[in-house]
Amino acid sequence: MEIKELGHLVLYVRNIERSVAFYRDVLGWRQVFPDPAASADGPLRVPAAGFSAGRTHHELLLIEVGEDAAAVPAGRRIGLYHFGLKVGDTDDELREVLARIREAGVDIVGASDHTITHSLYILDPDGNEIELYIDVAGVDWQSQPHLIAAPIRPLRL
């Protein structure tokens, strides 16, 4: 077997409307189902929403589990640490993202220069950590794979 690519990510969320507003309206992800222009009645058996950046039918699926669901535990734990979303190709684009998320009132929980990427870290409404990043132009990690594990430095935008 050979894995060809990461296909999609599925997250449980407390409130589908709140999470859809975050991923669609704050992060700008295109909602592919349910159609936001259609009626709320549809074939889904549970409240859910799918999003795509255009690479495949959906890269993110959100499934509502209710306000009483347990929170993502803080600190060291087993499971998802964060997922990364490429938001552009330049630091100027990352600065635009920074301005947009600040304007939306989203807290930045980290900012790192990984040599191969420049990254901002935020939390979604349910505490899932998201890395918003750009690949640094001119860094050839394929012929210099040691750069993938380069020391992390503070990001200076």
pLDDT tens column, 104-143: 999 999 999 999 999 999 999 999 999 999 999 999 999 9
**What is 83-154's CATH topology?**
2,3-Dihydroxybiphenyl 1,2-Dioxygenase; domain 1 (3.10.180)
How many helices (H) and strands (E) would you count in the chain? 2, 9
What are the tens digits of pLDDT across the range 57-90?
999 999 999 999 998 888 899 999 999 999 999 9
Question: CB–CB of 60/29 below 8 Å?
Answer: yes
Structure tokens at 17: 């409307």
Q: Cβ(100)–Cβ(93) under 8 Å?
A: no
Q: Are 9 and 61 in contact, with CB atoms under 8 Å apart?
A: yes
DSSP assigned state of 148: G
Task: Identify whether the C-beta of residue 60 lies closer than 8 Å to the C-beta of residue 23.
Answer: yes
Residues 47-57 as b or e (16 or more Cβ within 10 Å = b): bbbbbbeeeee
- Where do the domains of the chain lie? 9-64, 83-154
Looking at residue 72, what is its pLDDT?
84
Residues near 50 by Cβ (< 8 Å), separated by ≥ 6? 31, 32, 33, 57, 58, 60, 61, 62
CATH topology agreement for domains 9-64 and 83-154: yes
CATH 3.10.180.10 is right for the domain spanning 9-64: yes
8 Å CB contact between 51 and 30: yes
Residues in the chain: 157
DSSP three-state, residue 16: helix
Specify the pLDDT at position 150. Answer: 96
Rg (C-alpha) for the chain, rounded Å, is: 17
- How are beta strands 83-88 and 129-135 bridged, if at all? parallel
The pLDDT of residue 35 is: 76
